[in-house]
Amino acid sequence: MLKLKNIHTFYGPIEAVKGIDLEVKRGEIICLIGSNGAGKSTTLMTISGILRPAAGDISFEGRTINDLPPHMIVGMGISQVPEGRRIFPRLTVMENLEMGAYSAGNSGVLNKTRTKDHLERVLSLFPVLKERQKQQGGTLSGGEQQMLAIARALMSNPKMLLLDEPSLGLAPILVSKIFKIIREINNEGVTILLVEQNAHAALSLSSRGHVLESGRITLQGTGEELLNNERVKKAYLGE
């Protein structure tokens, strides 16, 4: 479904991603794990068109997308939940969700009736957001803001969701809740590319995982294989 071939991405003179190959098949959950600064967020932002690769090719459903602007990539069915849940703090929960549908509406993906149906489906995944729909986004708890960020990304009815550290800063009980929701979203047919520092939870959920170190993929395998890999255990699982 998604293929990255030899992707290189720079910030000015700094090469943050140094030749990544990655494939995500339809229906899968795959994860990228790695330490701070490994290039995980850069990889996701390169896929979603926020950053342009200096070299390499990204294709989605057989079509090259690395020459498309971000809103067209959303229109093709790829939606990103950025690191640090950048919701709009002064807009209500409902307005935040409408913004998610708006960016898709721009490229003609959704119309009003479909948006309304879709909103119901998204809210059924997050009952707490339904209760708080009139509340300002900034007044939600950290976990609720993360749910809002995910719900907003789902408003464009994506085929693939890119999640950047959804469990960051959340209490353990909320972490398992977020991972449960990710599984539910996947069960509804959305393919998932997950970036996480919580390697244990991410690998347990994923069919395949990749370890990113200094801009390169240094190890890959099934979630199970990586969970049992000595290097992964030592470096990322604290065992």
Ligand X SMILES: Nc1ncnc2c1ncn2[C@@H]1O[C@H](COP(=O)(O)OP(=O)(O)OP(=O)(O)O)[C@@H](O)[C@H]1O
CA–CA distance, 79 with 45 (Å, rounded to integer):
11
Q: What are the distances in angstroms from CA 77 to CA 16, 93, 230?
A: 26, 23, 37
39 binds, among ligand X, Mg ion, none (CB under 5 to 8 A by kind): ligand X
Q: Taking CB under 6 A as the criterion, which residues in 153-192 touch ligand X? A: none
14 binds, among Mg ion, ligand X, none (CB under 5 to 8 A by kind): ligand X
Contacts with ligand X, 38-57, as mask; x by CB under 6 A: xxxxx---------------
Q: What are the distances in angstroms from CA 195 to CA 39, 81, 165, 184?
A: 10, 10, 5, 17
By rule CB under 6 A, what count of residues binds ligand X? 13
Sheet containing strand 160-164, edge to edge, reads 78-81, 160-164, 191-196, 29-33, 208-213, 216-222
The least CB distance from residue 180 to ligand X, in Å, is 23
* Angle, CA 132 vertex, CA 131 and CA 136 arms, to 5°: 170
The closest of 71, 42, 31 to 183, measured between CA atoms, is 31
Reduced to 3 states (helix: H, G, I; strand: E, B; else coil), residue 53 is: coil
The least CB distance from residue 117 to ligand X, in Å, is 35
* Angle, CA 149 vertex, CA 51 and CA 61 arms, to 5°: 50
Q: Which stretch binds ligand X (CB under 6 A): 8-16, 180-188, 202-210, 222-230?
A: 8-16
Report H helices in 62-138: 70-76, 93-105, 112-125, 127-131
Asked if residue 29 lies in contact with residue 192, where contact means CB atoms within 8 angstroms, the answer is yes
173 binds, among ligand X, Mg ion, none (CB under 5 to 8 A by kind): none
CA–CA distance, 145 with 129 (Å, rounded to integer):
9
Choose, by CB under 6 A, the member of 37, 69, 142, 172 that binds ligand X.
37
Q: Which is nearer to Mg ion, 43 or 145 (CB)?
A: 43
The least CB distance from residue 114 to ligand X, in Å, is 34
Q: Which is nearer to Mg ion, 40 or 132 (CB)?
A: 40
Q: Taking CB under 6 A as the criterion, which residues in 197-226 touch ligand X? A: 197
The least CB distance from residue 47 to ligand X, in Å, is 12
Contacts with ligand X, 75-94, as mask; x by CB under 6 A: --------x-----------
The least CB distance from residue 94 to ligand X, in Å, is 30
Residues that bind ligand X (CB under 6 A): 11, 14, 16, 34, 36-42, 83, 197
